[in-house]
Structure 1
């Protein structure tokens, strides 16, 4: 295998390669070539200084010190590598698990890591070496245990960055097991810095292990390593410094090699996910409820903890979707649209709560289901298409892996069967099956969004939540994506909750429109009435702010005057009252309820009575 171009041009890489090769060669050949001379005593050459026959001198039994230093390469390196690998494995699993554990387990794990970090690693290693018993095995286990907290803290910090990504949220929507989440979606994305830390820690572990042997807690006679040789040469350091200096230089050389190796590998390691595992089959999602509703949400609230109190960005939301229906959810940024979708999919951030009176998906009351069954029901009955496909797709996994793990995890499909279904899903979204071998960074924005849609189709969901799926795309690709969603709705009968800022796009694509402001639904109306039949002042302002090609270019674009209210300081009356051109005195005193204006049209505005009188006339 040839080195990457960057490594071939780096002098440090070549120096590191030569140093590493020399250590490997000495570890393999040292005991074979110099092992006999290192163990052969010579009473006539006891404690001799450097000479032509013995360049480093001899020890108290007349054994050649150069041969012993060279032969000690293998045990010194093997023990150090074993200690760091054991410690890194345990620490990384402990720290990275915080990204996939539940809230209580996450807090306990984080507290355990903080507690372990309170003790200095070297003192812990010395204490455990005494507990385990002096010897090579005891020293190795002591160093491994002492290294666990450091690796756990590093992995915990790195995993925290992955925990908030869309691709991990998408994997949670699929209902993957925690072990699969950890193995597939967390560890591959934090492997590069962990590899660097493990490589550099090998040098530190070598120094620490030599220190334990120097203190008599490590390798015991008749075995030997560089630390023990350093201890034996220290007694005569003033008369003959080379017997003590030689093993010390060997320790320094090996530690420096590992440090340089970590620096060289830091920018060149390719992260690859592990091979898929055979999952346990799970039942498919149930059909719609008896009343024909795919989704039924009543009185949904979202509560977020904050230093100054609890923020309630979503308050009293009601939703109902039927099979094959497309409902748009529009509103300004911060109105609570995405949080509503995340609450339905059970993907709210840590610490958030979503109290509600009713939340039924495909006929099942999610509050009444056990946690595992609820997660499985959400995974198979619901698909979420996130706003940014670049972050929603795992950058370390191929498209094939990300599409097939759903059906393998929930339907027990074989690898070949899952690959065939993934190819069919890509064809369905007008992508060639050859893209299964690609990674997300090799695709365009439109292709990545199509892959996200294909991923959702793999579980044949009854509900698709499209959270601003066209925001980052140009107009042509936007039309392609909405046309694709329309075809999927017609073919599968899935209901679509389409979240967007684009009022014009929602009016064309959806059948019903829900207008959201300050966490509440302020108007619900058929899409064909959105342009000229909207009655809430906020909805009319949103429609009026849509630019037209025939508009006068010399005049500024119309906007909604004012700013949304502060969620920490909710007003007692209508939230839109400070910005409303039709406000009245009692609008600031009492919030209007969402009530029927006529068939299929509901408005939360005190002016609705005037609208009724106007319509009657």
Structure 2
């Protein structure tokens, strides 16, 4: 990713960053050239200069064999830094594997790994290092392994936390919809996006590893004679610190300076890059007598009957989607409208098999192109959903992996499911970008998501869906944050895909006007249920549910009195955990009665193709519409 490398120069734009970077560079030079320049002096035994104090020939004195202490400290830089970096590499590698394992392992195995990591993190790092040193034995190899294993738990927990923050992004969901396997998602979409904070923390960890390794050698557990590192030299100098303090001063200063260099560089990087860095049993769903939309069953692309989506909480299970039923036919454009929190997007995610544990999805019937989605194995569904279901998410910026080029992300689907070569898949990706009216598709395919405008990213996201042969396109707020011109282009593109491919489209939107102008049929959702289903032809003149009519009244038009307050729906939508046994809209409805507060109405047909869930459906006309929303103008 270009941004990854482009931001690192900012680390050395601060005084602390500059000083720490210079120190690290000097340490690197010393590690490379120190043994070459001072190797002879470090090993030269002088029986006439045993344990001498500082002098012009020996600035920090000599050891018990007359060897120059300063030369030995300079030569020991290579072994000290090398072993510390090797231990850090082992710790980061093991920690990353343990932290990423729950993403690819079965749920029970992932929980076992996570629990083991949490237990290990509870112990101090040095205590773990001493424990592993006993297991691996005294010596250089044992100390490196002990230190690496003791560092692993902290990196594992960090990896788990970072991976969890990325796993919910829309480009990960898009990869899952495309049928990409868990391991491929982990290595292509998750780890590259958490690499930067891991590198920052590894840099800080290297400083801690250097200090810890010096401590092990000082205790006699690490490097053994005749080899020597700073910790061993410090232990030798400490024996005569009262006679010649300089003999311990040189290795001590080296340990402190090197440790500070790593830690300060890591802290500078963190500042510059911004990386400071039990439930009740699931209740069975009560059957809701809602009928599926009328229509020929033979051309049904998506059939949903009595869909429930529930999540566990401290007080039990919460059901934000409760008893949703509808059918989408081939070539049909169906709109789903409602306020935020009404369950529109959760319904789409459940249909796409994107609700993960501990979330629960149940339905009497949930079929896509005749295939049951809840009982079919993930392996069998991967190819079907990856090629026949396209998902267009709300935010085009988070819909793409920022670390990968646009063309490569589009080509992934063809390589995964159609067996195309890298070159052929990329050529198809360029063709799909051209199909969604992106200019210069060859050049654009080599660019990163941040180099696209919002409208171009959204069209590229639709182009990703066209890499297969979509039977259904689920567009979840595809025009949010786009200006009206780009919004119109995106909607026209969806309509063209529908006309050319006979693909069904499920358009989720909070804008009832956009839905009325684009779709043939509308599903109005409130508090996790479909409260009305009707054709767009009937929408403005024959809507029967007070909530639908209130939504329509809240949309200003050219005839709206600009001197009068805008019409609003009084109150607020209920939280999923606040629902009672009656109609969820009753507290905000001008027509609510005791029956509405006590009994939840069922979704029942009032005419051909028109269903409404209301005990007192409004009669066609404008008088009751005005009455229904009058409370919002007070």
Normalising to structure 1: TM-score of the pair? 0.91
Counterpart of 1:156 in structure 2 is 160
For 1:577 and 1:259, the matched residues in 2 are separated by 60
Match of 1:364 in 2: 371
Q: Distance in 1 between matches of 2:53 and 2:575?
A: 82
CA apart distance, 1:216: 0.8
Structure 1 residue aligned with 2:293: none
Q: CA deviation at 1:209?
A: 0.7
Q: Alignment partner for residue 382 of structure 1, among 381, 384, 389?
A: 389
Question: Does 390-399 or 575-584 show the bigger shift?
Answer: 575-584
Are the structure 2 counterparts of residues 419 and 4 from structure 1 closer, same or farther at C-alpha, using a change threshold of 3 Å? same
CA deviation digits over 1:400-420, x for unaligned, max 9? Answer: 232222222222322211211
Distance 1:54 1:561, change over 3 A: closer
Cα displacement (A) at 1:3 = 10
- Give the Cα–Cα distance (whole angstroms) in 2 for the partners of residues 264 and 574 of structure 1: 56
8 Å contact from structure 2 (residues 581, 598) kept in 1: yes
Bigger shift: residues 440-449 or 141-150 = 440-449
C-alpha distance 210-488 of structure 1, shift in aligned 2 (>3 A): same
Shift of 1:485: 0.3
* Matched ranges for 1:281-296 at <5 A: 291-296=298-303
**Which residues in structure 2 correspond to 1:247-266 (within 5 Å)?**
247-266=251-270
Q: In the alignment, is residue 533 of structure 1 matched against residue 550 of structure 2? A: no
| 1:203 equivalent in alignment to 2:246 | no
Give SS of 2:51's match. Answer: coil
| Candidates 308, 316, 323, aligned match of 1:316 | 323
Q: Verify the 8 A CA contact 2:208 2:259 in the aligned structure 1.
A: yes
1:578 match: 587
Deviation at 1:119?
1.5
2:325 aligned with 1:327 = no
Match of 2:142 in 1: 138
Match for residue 42 of structure 2?
38
Residue from 308, 314, 317 that aligns with 1:307 = 314
- State how 1:53-64 maps to structure 2 within 5 Å: 53-64=57-68
Residue in structure 2 matched with residue 73 of structure 1 by the alignment: 77
Which of residues 194, 199, 210 is equivalent to 1:190? 194
Q: Which of 404, 409, 413 matches 2:411?
A: 404
- C-alpha change, 1:6 and 1:149, in structure 2 (3 Å) is closer
**Does structure 2 conserve the Cα–Cα contact (< 8 Å) formed by 1:98 and 1:159?**
no
Write the distance in 1 (CA, Å) between the matches of 2:273 and 2:183.
24
Superposition deviation, residue 437 in structure 1: 2.5
Structure-2 residue corresponding to 1:472: 481
Tell me how far apart the structure 2 counterparts of residues 320 and 263 of structure 1 sit (CA, whole Å).
Answer: 55
The DSSP-based 3-state class of the residue aligned with 2:299 is: coil
Would the aligned equivalents of 2:95 and 2:155 in 1 still touch at CA under 8 Å?
A: yes
Alpha carbons 1:400, 1:419 under 8 Å: kept: yes
Residue 490 (structure 1) aligns with? 499
Classify 1:104/1:376 alpha carbon distance in 2 versus 1 (closer, same or farther; 3 Å): farther
Query: Structure 1's 472 and 100: CA in aligned 2 closer, same or farther, altered over 3 A?
Result: farther
Higher mean C-alpha displacement, 529-538 vs 78-87:
529-538
Shift of 1:2: 11
Q: Does 1:86 align with 2:90?
A: yes
What secondary structure is seen at the aligned counterpart in 2 of 1:384? strand
5 Å matches for 1:14-25?
A: 14-25=18-29
Q: Which runs of 5+ in 1 are unaligned?
A: 272-288, 612-617
Change in CA separation of 1:217 and 1:527 when aligned onto 2, cut-off 3 Å = same
Query: Which residue of structure 1 lines up, in the alignment, with residue 121 of structure 2?
Result: 117
Q: Which residue of 2 aligns with 1:276?
A: none
User: Residue 459 of structure 1: CA displacement?
Assistant: 2.5
Counterpart residue number, 1:424: 431
Is 1:236 paired with 2:240? yes
For residue 597 of structure 1, what is the aligned residue in structure 2? 606
1:417-452 deviations in whole A, cap 9, x for unaligned? 121111111111111212223222222221221121
- Whole-Å separation in 2 of the counterparts to 1:154 and 1:458: 36
Query: Secondary structure of the residue that 1:501 maps to in structure 2?
Result: coil
Q: Whole-Å Cα distance in 2 between the matches of residues 413 and 105 of structure 1?
A: 34
Match of 1:394 in 2: 401
Number of positions where the alignment pairs a residue of Structure 1 with one of Structure 2: 594
List runs of 5+ in structure 2 lacking aligned partners.
276-295, 621-634
Residue of structure 1 in register with 2:292 after alignment:
none
- Choose the corresponding residue for 2:577, options 564, 568, 572: 568
Counterpart position of 1:225? 229
User: CA shift at 1:543, angstroms?
Assistant: 1.9
| Maintained 8 Å contact 1:305/1:351 | yes
- Deviation, structure 1 residue 50: 2.2
Where 1:34 maps in the other structure, the secondary structure is: helix
Instruction: For residue 156 of structure 2, give the secondary structure of its aligned residue in structure 1.
Output: helix
- 1:524 offset after TM fit, Å? 1.4
Aligned-pair CA distance for 1:100? 5.6
- Pairwise CA RMSD of aligned residues? 2.4
Q: What whole-Å deviation, never above 9, does each CA across 1:224-273 have from its counterpart, x for those lacking one? A: 111111111111111111111111111112112212322344466799xx
**Residue in 2 that maps onto 1:284:** none
Please state whether the residue corresponding to 1:368 is helix, strand or coil: coil
Aligned residue number for residue 169 of structure 1: 173
Counterpart residue number, 2:623:
none
Aligned-partner SS, 2:374 = helix
1:517 aligns with 2:526: yes
CA distance in 2, matches of 1:293, 1:102: 34
| 1:560-580 Cα deviation digits (max 9, x unpaired) | 233333432333233333333
Q: 1:439 to 1:358 in 2, by over 3 A?
A: same
Are the counterparts in 1 of residues 341 and 527 from structure 2 also a CA contact under 8 Å? yes
Alignment counterpart, residue 508 of structure 1, candidates 517, 532, 548:
517
For residues 548 and 47 of structure 2, what CA distance do their matches in structure 1 show?
A: 101
Q: Partners of 1:454 and 1:493 in 2: how far apart?
A: 16
Alpha carbons 1:597, 1:608 under 8 Å: kept: no
Structure 1 contact 304–351 (Cα < 8 Å) conserved: yes
